[in-house]
Structures are given as C-alpha cells and as structure tokens.
Amino acid sequence: MMRFLLLFSRQGKLRLQKWFTPIPEREKKKIVRDMTTMVLARKPRSCNFLHWKDLKIVYKRYASLYFCCGLDTEENELIALEMLHRYVELLDKYFGNVCELDIIFNFEKAYFILDEFLLGGEVQETSKQVVSRAIEASDMLQEAEIDNSDYDLELGWP
Amino acid sequence: MERFHFLKLRAMSPSVRLQEMIRVIRGARTQGEERGVIQRECAAIRAQFRQVDNGTRSHNLAKLLYVHMLGYPAHFGQMECVRLIASPRYNEKRVGYLGAMMLLDEKQDASLLITNSIKNDLSHNSQYVQSLALCTLACMGSAEMCRDLAPEIDRLLRASNSYIKKKATLCAVHIVRKVPELGELFTPAARSLLSEKNHGVLHGAVVLITELCERNPDTLEQFRKVVPDLVQIMKSLVMSGYSPEHNVAGISDPFLQVRILRLLRILGRNNDTASDAMNDLLAQVATNTDSSKTAGSAVLYETVLTVMDIKSESGLRVLAVNILGRFLLNNDRNIRYISMTSLQKIVQTDHNAVQRHRGTIVDCLKDQDASVKRRALELSLALVSAVNIRSLMKELLLFLSSCPPELRAHTTSGIFNAAERYSPSQRWHIDTILHVLTTAGGDVRDETVPNLIQLITTASELHCYTVHKLYRALITDISVQSLVQVACWCIGEYGDLLLRGECEETEPVQVTEDDVLDALETVLQSHMSSPATRGFALTATMKLSTRITHNVDRIRSIVSIYGSCIDVELQQRAVEYNALFKKYDHMRAAVLERMPVIDKSSPGHANDESAGGAIKELEQTKLTQEVVLPKEPGNQVCDLLDLLGGSGEPVSSSALSNILPGTARSTSGGDLLDLLGGLDVSPAPPSVKVYEKNGVTLQLQTDSQTDTGMTITLTATNSTDGDITSLTLQAAVPKCVQLQMKAPSGDVIPARGIGLVTQTVLLNNPNKVSLKMRVRVCYTSQGSVCQDTVQIDSFPSPAW
C-alpha cells in the first residue's frame, strides 16, 4: 500500500499531505522534512526511486510541484509512477491546465479528487472518466445544496 | 421572506473567504507577519466555532485546515469536525470528514465520537455521503471502529452499486489490516466479487484477496482455486482491443494487470499446480506487452517478479531474465534501476543467466545516477567469478577511482573479498590490494593492514618485488596510513632486498641506506602519520639495524631520540630498542631476524562458483586469520622481554615464531632456551634474593635508578617438582612514594627451574624519602594456597 503522498514546491513548502497510516504529528513533520530534503537534493536527470528506512520512495516533478509517495517494499515502483501521473491528469482535467496556484487556493478540492482515486492507500478506480464524473456529481450536489438552501435537501436515513 | 433572506446570506458565504485568507497569508512578507495573520484568523475561527450555526462553519474549518497544512496547531478544530460530520448538510459533512482525516487519528479521543456518524452515513440515501464515510473509515478507522462497523461493510460488499462496492472493498482491506481476525468475515464476499465486471470493483477485490491470502495460509489454500479465473481475466485484458476507458499507453488497465500478477505470484509460490495453471498466461504477457512506455514496463516488471518467484519452467525463467537484460539497455534510468534490483534478487539462484548480462551491468557503473551506480556495484560484486576476475577487477578499480564517497568503503571491501576468493596469482593479489590502498586507502577496513602483511609473507618469491613497489609508493605519498604502515613493515622486514638493487619483476632502482632511513624518518616526523603508523616506522627502523651495514649509528641515534618522545607507546618502544642495543646487543640479530611464513589456517582460495556459500566461508576465514595473525611488530619486543625472563608459560605460537625461525610451533620454554644455546636464565645485573620458601624464590633486581625513582624487576623461580600456579605479587610502599606495577609475564612458574615469571615495578619518589617496599607473594603449590609477605629495606645497585 501507499503509506503517504506529499506535494511540495521547489522551496519545500507543503501543498498537500495524505497519510494512510496513523502517525503522530511530530513524526509526520519529520517525514515531511526528510522527504523534502532528500527529493530536493536530487539532480535533474536522476532516477525517480529512492530508499528511505524500510520504504520505497517514488517521486516525480511536475512543473513547480514535487509529487512524492512512500510505499511498502513489495510495491511496484513503475506502477506507482503511473499512479502519480494519473492523479496529475485528474487534477488537470478538473482545473483545466492545473498549476500550483490552483492547488494552493483549492486545496480541499485536491483532497476530494485524491479521495476518489485512492482509498486506504490503494487505487480505488482505474478509469479516469469514472473519477471525474464522481467529482462533478459531488460538486453538483454541493452546489444544489447551496442553491436550494431554502429547504434542506432531502438528506435523511432510510 | 425573512427566512429566505437569511438563507440567501448563507448562500453568499462563499469559499471566497477562504481564498481571501490564503491570499492574505501568502502576502505576508516575513515569517513574523505570517504568524500574526494566522493568529488573528485562528482567533476569529475559534470565536466562530463557539457561536451558533451561522452557515460559515464549513468555511471556517476549511480555513483551519489550510493553516494546519502550513504547520500551525489546529487541535481546537477537532470537535468542530465531529459536529460537522453530524450535520445533515452535504457540504458540511464533506469538510467535516476531510477535517477528521487530517486532524483526527485513532489516538485522539474525538475519533471515537464520529463512529456513530459514520455508521449512520454508511446507510445514507446519497451514495456520495456513503462514500465520505467509507473513505474516512478506510483512512483513519481504529481497530475498535473497524470491529464496530465490519458487518456494515460486509453488507455493502454484497449489495450496493459498483461505486459503493469498490469503496467498501478497500474499506474491508483496511479492516483486515487493523483486525486480521475479521478476514474470515470478508472471505466469502471477496470470492464472489471476482465475477464483477466493473474494473474498480475487480481491482478492489484483487487487493482484498491478496490481503486475505497474505495473512492466512488456509485462506491462501482456498483461493488457489481461483487461479483459472484470474488467468481468464488477465487474458481478456491483454488480448482485448483498445478500451478507451482503461487504456494507458496501449495497455488495458495496467493497474489491474499489475495487481492480478501480484496475486498470482502469491498463489503460485511453492505450488506446482497453481504455477502450471498460470505458466502460459505469463509467457503470453511477457511476450505481448509493449514496453515502450512506463505502463507496459510496469506490467512486464511485475510479470518478471512473478515468474521468478513461482515454480515456473526454465524456459519461462530465461525469458524473464532476458526481459531484465533488455531493461538494462533501456534509455529510461528508472527501468535500468529496477532491472538491477530485480537481478540482484535472483543473482544467487539464476547466477549463470545473470552472468550473460554482466557487460551491461558493468557499464552501469559509469551511470551518472548514484542509485544506479550503487545497484550496479552490488550486482558486479555478486557476479565476480574465477573466470572473469581479471577483467571485472579492472572495471571495479576504475570505478573506485571515481566513485562517490559514500560507496568507497563498500567498494573496497567488495574488491578485497573478490580478490581473496578468486585471485589468479599472488602477485596479482598483492598488486590489486596495493592499487586499492593507493586509490582509496582511507576507506579500507582495519584488518586490511594485517591481512596484507600476512599475504606478503606467504608470497616469498615476491618479497623483493613487493618491497620495491611499496618503497616507491612510500616516497611518493605518506598520507594514506594503511599503505604507509604496510610499506614500513615491508621495508623493515625486507630492507636488505631493497638495498640489493636488483629485482626480477620490476625495474631496478638504486636505493641507498640513507634513502631508506630518510623515508622512515619522514614518516616518523610527519604530522600526517598516526601514532600507530609511527610505531610501525620506528620498529622498521630498528629492524633495519641488522639489515644494513653502514648506518647503524644513525639508527641508534633515532632510537635514542624517541626514548623521550611524548607519545608513550613510541617512548616505550624506543626505550626497549635502546635496551636491545645496549644490554642485549648479542641477541639483536636473532631477535630481529626475518619472520617465517605465517600460516593462514583458512580453507584457502575457494574455487566453487556458488557465491552464496562462499561468503560464509569468507567470514570464517577472516576470523581465523585474525587469530593467527602476527602481533604488531611492537609486541615483538614484549616477547623479547618474555624471552629474557624465560617465561615458561606457553607463549602463543605466533609470538614465538616471530622470534625464532624454525620453531614455529614450539611452546615450551625449554626448547626456546636450548635454541639460544643455554642462555643463562638469571638476569645479568646483580639481584638480591628477597624470598625463599617452598621451593619458590623471589629475586629483586634494580633496572635503573634516578634521584627520584627507580625501576625494579622481580623474578620468581620454582625448584619444586610441580608447577606453581596462580602466582600474584603485590607491593606496598611508603605513603609519599608512587608505585606502578607492570603486568607480570605470567602466573605459572614451571617446575624444576625450567622457567620463571618476572614483573617490573616502577617507583616514583619525588620527596626522595628512604625507599622501602613490602611485597606479598601469593601462589598455589601442590594444591594448597600459600601467602607470604616480605619486607625489602634496601635495593641492589642498578644494572646500568
């Protein structure tokens, strides 16, 4: 499984952090520091795979953002690269030519999209369209709720 | 109307406010300014949280989550998450659950409070609300929550739409990871999920089954039956035409393919039937998958891992290794890297297959990327064999000269191991080690110096060649301690060969005695030389006194200068060598004679190809080597004193062989003395008998005396028929005198005067009081313990 996914800028500023296992706050901060230090120190045409403690680290740079994930050792690094790429594609589809600012100002959307693609550290949906459609539908539900807020949307339990 | 107005206002509380706050924070020019802005915002947020619901709660929590991501504390938002999750409004739930995943983990008490909300939301009308609950449970659900909600999840696994099913499946995976016993609960549902057509659900099902099989061998047994189903699914994926929905660079759903291959690996491991059932499929995937892009390579990679791990036919294994070989030539560095990690895993079991790709692997030593270099080094070392040692070593030495510093130590020890096992000749071996020392002498292990010395002594025909080579290295550069130490030792030992001038194997060079002594003195005086190195140099200088003819006086003066060196070790050596010149000159030649070949009691050079077994042997070799190795040359002199004292205790064979050629295994003091032609055991200088009882005699001799102190030696002999054992001597002196007892030469006095025990005592008498000493003698004779005390009021005059 994927243990964590981090997005950070070239200056090491964190833009998104998703943790798939329970980790104390202090340790999260340490991991973030270690990842940013290690990844930012890599030369431009280096291999995208690293070893850190007992994890495989896979990272890829997209424009000004580094996408970095930590995996268990039995994971396939190449498919992890594809996972990172798929996430970027989803962001791109949603925001239209996504850039770092989109993720900064709409970070909660970035999380919602991630939560439609990965669940519990595993891929939950392999079709781009299905993920995009689900996000759109959720957004519409949210909009509808705000628009129709003179009566509460029928949100009850059977 | 009023209500409508109020609600419209609510509708206008947009996430613009969140974005506004983000803008303001980013506009802060300093860290301090940012902190200020955030403190203000947090205060406002806290205030809002305390108020009655005014429609802004979700936006405030969102703001707080942003602030949290910047690294600021946000724990006061935890309860707000709980409240928002319980809200009937979707947008509030959405942010609430997001907050829960970011701020709550199973260790917080607040996390338990959301269990009920999750439970309710799992049965919600809207699948998007259900989805929130499932996602949160799978992200941060504690074991307790998992136990609580497992039945719900199982229900959803069986009866829901595919959107919910796929999420419920992964939720089940999380539950099994937290509470493995619950695996049993999900096993039936997992089985039936495999017949789903929806890729998301199928993927989740495969992940769930993998998790169940990894945790429970019985479940694994059960699921072997589904291998044909998995094979079928894979076949349709591989053979299907272009499917736009799941296509990635020409591969149909690589994510699903990779997971299925991984599950097949687990099911086929150690099981012939299962492995047979998947053999054809694996061959098909291996042959038909286009690897021009990462997606295809990912599938091929997983296929190779599976082939190598199950009981596959040899043809298939060869196919797999060849894929890895092809990967090695790929332009993509990532693919070269994973190829090498995979090859590393199989280099022991499929050694010959991997050998075929040795050339490419060695080329990767020159790669720019440090990770690739490291992998290439590991693999190259694993591939060394008697056949390729010469060519491969050239590459490794080339690599060493330019390798990154963090890899140097590993490279040098790898080279030494390889040379140890597969050297084609001794000269090659010595040359290789010298090359390494010259290139990276600072990064070698400590045992390298004694190991090399031992190797040199065994290559007796090469002594002349070796000493010439080392001399040349020494005069070029004295900064590499390991090299300098070996060079000094060799020069000390074989200096006569160096001075002779001719040498078969190398170009002759004229070296005069002064040249050699200059070189050693440079080492002695250089601030670059470590204390150990200087010890080597001093001893080598001393040894040369019997190998040169004209400059013995120079050596004498060097040695006497170091008699007052600050470094205690050097001082001690110099003093002892001085003694050798002055008092025991007649023995100097014998003491400093050439050492015999040191026996290496190891299995010797391994010839077997199997790399794995040889490594253990090698470790044992290293251990025994250390036991048999000669003590450092300095210890020769300690042995010297033993010799003079004539210790009857069995001295270790190597020490004796240092001193007396030809008596390699002799341990008895008697033979020792015979060889020296009946040396008179009792020390030459005057001594007094201070104790005589039960056949045990204690003599006292003054070695040296100054105004403020003296050095004395106590010598114990035994004239009885049985050995005296457990001998201890204790001394007491007047208060203002300081006493230091050196280690005794032993604690056993052999019978019939064959040997004796000595102990040196240093007395420091700064106040120049009248020196007296009380000595307690304690020993076991014929089974009974004896103890006596003697008073010594006067000391004999000193030896010199």
Chain A residue numbers touching B166 (CB-CB < 8 A): 124-125
Helices (H), B194-291: 199-215, 217-223, 227-239, 254-268, 272-288
Contact A157 B163 (CB under 8 A): no
Q: How many whole angstroms separate alpha carbon B250 and alpha carbon B698?
A: 96
- CB-CB neighbors (< 8 A) of B95 in chain A: 108
CB contact under 8 A, A124 and B107: no
One-letter amino acid of B282: L
Say which DSSP state B749 is in.
Answer: B
Beta bridge partners of A8: A14, A66
| Residue A130 in contact with partner chain B when CB distance is under 8 A | yes
Strands (DSSP E) found in B101-260: 247-248, 251-252
The answer to whether B123 contacts A158, with C-beta atoms less than 8 Å apart, is yes
Q: Comparing C-alpha atoms, which of B273, B240, B244 is closest to residue B257?
A: B240
- Helix, strand and coil content of chain B, in percent to the nearest 5, comes to 65, 10, 25
Q: How far is CA B396 from the centre of its chain?
A: 20
Whether residues B254 and A112 touch (CB distance < 8 A) is answered with: no
What lies within 8 Å, CB to CB, of A96 at 6+ separation is none
A118 vs B570, higher pLDDT? A118
Q: Among candidates B582, B557, B561, which has minimal Cα distance to B570?
A: B561
What is the rounded CA–CA span in Å between residue B210 and residue B627?
A: 51
Does the pTM surpass 0.90? The reply is: no
Partners of residue B204 in chain A, C-beta under 8 Å: 122, 124
A125/B166 Cβ within 8 A: yes
d(C-alpha B131, C-alpha A138), whole Å: 10
Q: How many CA atoms lie within 13 A of B509 on its CB side?
A: 17
Quote the percentage of chain A above a pLDDT of 70.
Answer: 93
Structure confidence by residue, pLDDT tens digits, B287-341: 999 889 999 999 999 999 999 999 998 899 999 999 999 999 998 999 999 999 9
How far from each other are the two terminal CA atoms of chain B, in whole angstroms? 122
**For residue B142, which residues of chain A lie inside 8 Å, CB to CB?**
22
Token output for B688: 């007094």
Using CA coordinates, name the residue in chain B closest to A83: B255
Give the nearest chain A residue to B243 (CA atoms): A127
Cα gap B442→B530, rounded to integer Å: 12
Give SS3 for B728.
strand
* B10/A108 touch (CB, cutoff 8 Å), yes or no: no
Q: Which residue has the tokens 């291996």?
A: B286
Residue B493: closest CA among B472, B471, B476: B471
What residues pair up with B340 in beta bridges, in sequence order? none
pLDDT of residue B13: 39
User: Are the Cβ atoms of A79 and B88 closer than 8 angstroms?
Assistant: no
Report how far apart, in Å, the C-alpha atoms of A16 and of each of A34, B62, B255, B720 are.
16, 13, 24, 88
Under 8 Å CB-to-CB from A46, ≥6 apart: which residues?
Answer: B333, B368, B369, B370, B371
Residue of B nearest to A81 (CA): B294
Q: Which residues contact B138 (CB under 8 A, 6 or more apart)?
A: A119, A120, B167, B170, B171, B173, B174
Distance CA B405, CA B78 (A): 48
Q: Are B744 and B758 in contact (CB under 8 A)?
A: yes
Contact A46 B370 (CB under 8 A): yes
Q: Is residue A150 pLDDT above 60, yes or no?
A: no
The token duo for A119 is 């669940």
The ranges of chain B with pLDDT < 70 are 1-16, 505, 599-685, 799-800
Compute the nearest-CA separation of B32 from chain A (Å). Answer: 17
Q: Which residue of B has its CA nearest to A125?
A: B200
Is A127 an 8 Å CB contact of chain B?
yes
Q: Tokens 């990532």 — which residue?
A: B334
SS3 state at B427: helix
> Closest to B120 (Cβ–Cβ): which among A48, A116, A157?
A157
Residues 288-317 of B with CB under 8 A from A: 294-295, 297-298, 301-302, 305
Compare all CA atoms of chain A with the CA of B165 and give the residue at the minimum distance.
A124
Q: How many C-beta atoms surround the C-beta of residue B35 within 10 A?
A: 13
Shortest CA distance from B75: residue in chain A: A25
Pairing of strands B738-741, B756-764: antiparallel
pLDDT computed for residue B606 by the predictor: 35
pLDDT at position B647, please? 37
Using the Cβ of A26 and the Cβ atoms of chain B, whether some distance falls under 8 Å is answered with no
C-alpha distances in Å from residue B548, one per residue of B410, B428, B490, B500: 41, 30, 15, 10
Q: Is the ipTM of this complex over 0.85?
A: yes
The pLDDT score that the predictor gives to residue B349 is 87
The pLDDT value given to residue B601: 53
B488 and B632 Cβ atoms separated by less than 8 Å = no
Chain A contacts in chain B segment 400-439 (CB below 8 A): none
The amino acid sitting at B454 is Q
Contact B96, B81 (CB under 8 A): yes
Kindly state whether A44 is in contact with chain B, defined as any CB-CB distance less than 8 angstroms: no
The first and second tokens of residue A131, run together, are: 């993920």
Query: Quick check: A63 contacting B, CB < 8 Å?
Result: no
Q: How far apart are the first and last CA of chain A?
A: 35
Interface test with B, best of A82, A87, A90, A102 (most B CBs within 10 A): A82
Residue of A nearest to B294 (CA): A78
Contact A46 B253 (CB under 8 A): no
At residue A77 the predicted structure's pLDDT band, cuts being 50, 70 and 90, is very high
The pair of three-digit structure tokens given for residue B747, joined into one six-digit string: 């604690």
pLDDT of amino acid B799: 55
B390, amino acid identity: R
**What is residue B685's predicted lDDT score, i.e. its pLDDT?**
59
DSSP summary character for residue B596: P
Distance from CA of B664 to the nearest CA of A (A): 51
Q: What is the pLDDT of residue B85?
A: 94
Distance from CA of B446 to the nearest CA of A (A): 28
Facing A120 at nearest CB: one of B106, B174, B336: B174
Tell me the one-letter amino acid at B293: K
d(CA B673, CA B658): 15
- Centroid of chain to Cα A28: 16
Q: Which one-letter amino acid corresponds to residue B339? A: S
